[in-house]
Amino acid sequence: MPQPRIEAQLPQGREAHPARVAPPCAFVVFGATGDLTRRKLMPAIARLILRGSIQEQFAVVGVARRPLSAEGFGDEVVKAIHEFAPGLCGDAEQLREVAGRLDYVSGDFAEPATYQRLRAALERHDRDHGTAGNRVFYLATPPSEFEDILTGLKAAELISPPHHEPWVRVVIEKPFGRDLATALELNRLAARVLDESQTFRIDHYLGKETVQNILVFRFANSMFEPLWNRKYVDFVEICAAETVGVGTRGKFYEETGVLRDIVQNHLLEVLALTAMEAPNTAEAEDVRGEKLQVLRALRQPWHDTIVRDVVLGQYRGYREEPDVAPDSVTPTFAALRVFIDNWRWQGVPFYLRTGKRLAKRVTEVSFHMQPVPLSLFGREDVCENLEPNVLTLRIQPDEGIRLSFASKIPGFDQMVGAVSMDMNYVEAFGGEPPEAYERLLLDAMRGDATLFSRRDAVEASWRWITPILQQTEAEPPRDFPNYEPGSWGPVAARSLPQRDGRRWSEW
Ligand code: BG6
């Protein structure tokens, strides 16, 4: 398809990534020897240090059960950076600088002595590295450990009162609960220990540059907003497809499944940003308030509508993955037809699709616009292809925005063809956008909660999805495994949009 050229104009005198700097603080990670710490958190911290967003007065303290010295932890982190962020390893001197900020406390999370050792380490860093008593505690552990850690921190008086210097913030990883009851319980526990302003529920999708750009695209341009509603949009498609399987995460995935792993959090966050009303300001509370309204307006599917509007799948070979039961009924694919019952979106279907081991890695939101009311170019001999306009926000990979429209094909005949205008982030702005975790860790250190999930929103999303979980777990599909790796999921998923005379995008 021919593609007109797009050029980015950056504001004069500004870098594409304006420098944002963390205040002095210690970053404490529980679950320091785990996968998330190695793959995402430590590479993100290293990038922030190398970028200058984290300055001198800073330390990382890893906490985990495994006995390890600070040097041993430093070696592991450097190894992880080599493996997961090889681009950072060019400058050995700088890498040593990262390793020099690392400390380690070993201990059981249920043991009060662990928190006494942690307190001593933090006080040492306040003295030696000027961390000023400010702390971010990051809970990168399985949810079953959250209670011990939060109560341990509280009992050791490591949580200062809210709105108070030095400050304390706690970042809690997903999944935030397993269903509505456990999410409510976890929120009650967090509220006993922390003020909401100190609670940072992380969903790394919100740290993706392209997800943040949904707001900018919608509210910094005047031409799209008038079209952003039921009058002009025929349907919306949100797809998060992965080519990878569950790999070594079988144990986690068996307890989670695709509805808890991706739909309850990542997809509903993207849906809320896509569908929300304009907030009064870009401040955290205004944005989060509008997103909540969308979640509250989701039409609740029950019984027959769940059977009709939710298709689950499991890829062939999942049951042979490590730590997966040979008769597992855990879904690795979900397609859903969702409605938002408000004035803007009444009657517009939102088709959500996500899964592992699919044909292509692609995360996108597509707005399929209504067809023109009357085709002037409908005769077969003149109309090669008259498709409705589609606006696609490409979240990953190949981050960008594409608008497809019809155009006259040059020549004496009245031939119509589809073309697209395509904006690609890397081409437009130069350089890769920062990693999601980088942005979110920095925001937590700076106390900006805009990109973190609020208590009421987390509860609203669980309230909506829990009946779907209950029904599909009580009556799991009998045809699992029902899709081939490298395909687009189970055949039944196709019928979701087809029933309405629409179809999924294809790549
Ligand atoms: C995580 C899920 O939250 O998101 C994983 O637990 C999934 O199962 C991952 O693979 C996808 O994130 P990204 O950033 O790679 O799209």
pLDDT in tens, 112-129: 999 999 999 999 999 999
Q: How far is CA 320 from CA 243, 252, 486, in A?
A: 17, 15, 17
Residue with structure tokens 């750009």?
Answer: 213
Q: What is the per-residue pLDDT for 499?
A: 93
Q: How far is CA 438 from CA 16, 206, 220, 405, in A?
A: 16, 12, 24, 36
Q: Report pLDDT digits (tens) over 483-499.
A: 999 999 999 999 999 99
Q: What is the per-residue pLDDT for 29?
A: 97
- Rounded to whole angstroms, the Cα distance separating 309 from 15 reads 46
Residues recognised as catalytic: 266
Give the DSSP letter string of 178-193.
SSHHHHHHHHHHHHHH
Tell me what the mean pLDDT of segment 273-291 comes to. 94
pLDDT range class, residue 15, cuts 50, 70, 90: very low
Q: How far is the CA of 266 from the centre of ligand 1 (A)?
A: 9
Tokens read off for 271: 């849906």
Q: How far is the CA of 3 from the centre of ligand 1 (A)?
A: 31
Tell me what the mean pLDDT of segment 451-467 comes to. 95
Q: Report pLDDT digits (tens) over 132-182.
A: 999 999 999 988 899 999 999 999 999 999 888 999 999 999 889 999 999
Q: Whose CA is nearest to atom 5 of ligand 1?
A: 261
Q: What is the per-residue pLDDT for 435?
A: 86
Residue 1 has pLDDT above 60, yes or no: no
- Amino acid sitting at position 1: M
CB 365 within 8 A of CB 391: no
State which ligand 1 atom lies nearest to the alpha carbon of 361: 16
Residues 6+ apart with CB under 8 A from 121: 61, 103, 105
State which ligand 1 atom lies nearest to the alpha carbon of 208: 14
Residue with structure tokens 């979900």?
Answer: 334
Whether 35 lines ligand 1, by a CB cut-off of 6 Å, is: no
State which ligand 1 atom lies nearest to the alpha carbon of 244: 10
Q: What is the per-residue pLDDT for 411?
A: 87
What average pLDDT is seen over the chain?
90
**Pick the residue with more confidence: 15 or 370?**
370
Residue 286 has pLDDT above 90, yes or no: yes
State which ligand 1 atom lies nearest to the alpha carbon of 396: 16
The CA-to-CA distance between both ends of the chain, in Å, stands at 13
Q: What is the per-residue pLDDT for 92?
A: 62
- Rounded to whole angstroms, the Cα distance separating 297 from 199 reads 25
Whether 309 lines ligand 1, by a CB cut-off of 6 Å, is: no
Q: Whose CA is nearest to atom 2 of ligand 1?
A: 261
Q: What is the per-residue pLDDT for 384?
A: 47
**Pick the residue with more confidence: 502 or 50?**
502
Q: Whose CA is nearest to atom 6 of ligand 1?
A: 261
Q: Whose CA is nearest to atom 9 of ligand 1?
A: 262
Of the candidates 20, 15, 60, the residue with the CA atom closest to the CA atom of residue 439? 20
Buried b (16+ CB within 10 A) or exposed e, 190-224: beebbeeebbbbbbbbbbbbbbbbbbeebeeeeee
Q: How far is the CA of 204 from the centre of ligand 1 (A)?
A: 8
